[in-house]
Amino acid sequence: MLINQYLAVWHALKVDRAQRDILEAAAREARIIREYETEIGKKLLAEIVWINGQANTIEDKRNDALHSPLWGSGNQVAPLSGLGHKRARKLVEAGTKRGLLVEFRWCRDATLALTDYIRDINDCLSGSARRPWPERPSPPSRGQTRKTSPHRQKSQAKPAPLPQTSRA
């Protein structure tokens, strides 16, 4: 079956950023966007581009936190930036006075907020009962706790209506 070949290629990629780049390139060439230029197609492409940008930002922050050399003194663990390590310097510049666990939590919460948003878009597009287009999530602040992270909160505001499809 052809779909299995596509999935095999997709899952053969070991780097998520490459998958996101391929998804965006495919979306830019998709018939619904390129030929018909429907309002929903344009909206979907804009959201794919936005989501990919957010995911790239989260990936960079996560990699900074995970791949920086660390040193410990007493009960404190901090990035070892004195030797010129780029990721460690970025962590220090980002103000890791809050601590590495805050960075890890932010990466997790930002990822969960994006995941929920993607699920909401999927529900909007594939559900039998048309749902309104979801609002973009705001990134979590680094001061939030698990209980108050945005992926757990549901917006009280009414989402924007789903764009109508039409041929150009």
Domain ranges of the chain: 15-67+99-152
Residue 150 has pLDDT above 70, yes or no: no
**Per DSSP, which regions of the chain are E strands?**
70-73, 76-79
pLDDT digits (tens, 9 = 90+) for 2-58: 678 988 988 999 999 999 999 999 888 887 666 656 788 888 889 999 999 999 999
Q: Is there a contact between 82 and 50 (Cβ–Cβ < 8 Å)? A: no
pLDDT digits (tens, 9 = 90+) for 62-97: 999 889 998 888 887 888 888 889 999 888 887 656
SS3 121: helix
Q: Is there a contact between 97 and 74 (Cβ–Cβ < 8 Å)? A: no
> Can you give the pTM of this predicted structure?
0.74
